[in-house]
Amino acid sequence: MIVEFLPAADREFREATRYYEARAPGLGHEFIAELEHMRSILDSMHRSLVLRRFPFALIYRIDPTAVRIVAVAHKRRKPGYWRARR
């Protein structure tokens, strides 16, 4: 199945990865690896992968043709801001 980031989610993902990689070499890669863990259901359309080590959640939905990444959301900033994204 195709995994597709919405443009805003892609920017968030790249920004967070660069931030962690700048703090310590390899930390950005650890951030990426952790995106593959913990999943939870948010509503009828959206799911999330909640990171254990980093304060982020990967918000996504499963469409018939792809997994669409809606947001790479910081857990302590603007809860639910991504809900209007299509």
Q: Tell me the per-residue pLDDT of 1-33, one tens digit each, with 9 for 90 and over.
A: 677 888 998 999 899 999 999 999 999 999 888
Looking at the DSSP bridge assignments, the partners of residue 61 are 46, 68
Model pLDDT, residue 24: 96
Domain 2-75 has CATH 1.10.1060.10: no
Model pLDDT, residue 23: 96
What phi and psi values does residue 27 have, to the nearest 5 degrees?
-70, -35
Model pLDDT, residue 20: 95
Q: Tell me the per-residue pLDDT of 34-78, one tens digit each, with 9 for 90 and over.
A: 765 556 667 778 888 888 889 998 898 888 888 889 999 998 888
- Token reading at 54: 């980093």
Global pTM reads 0.59
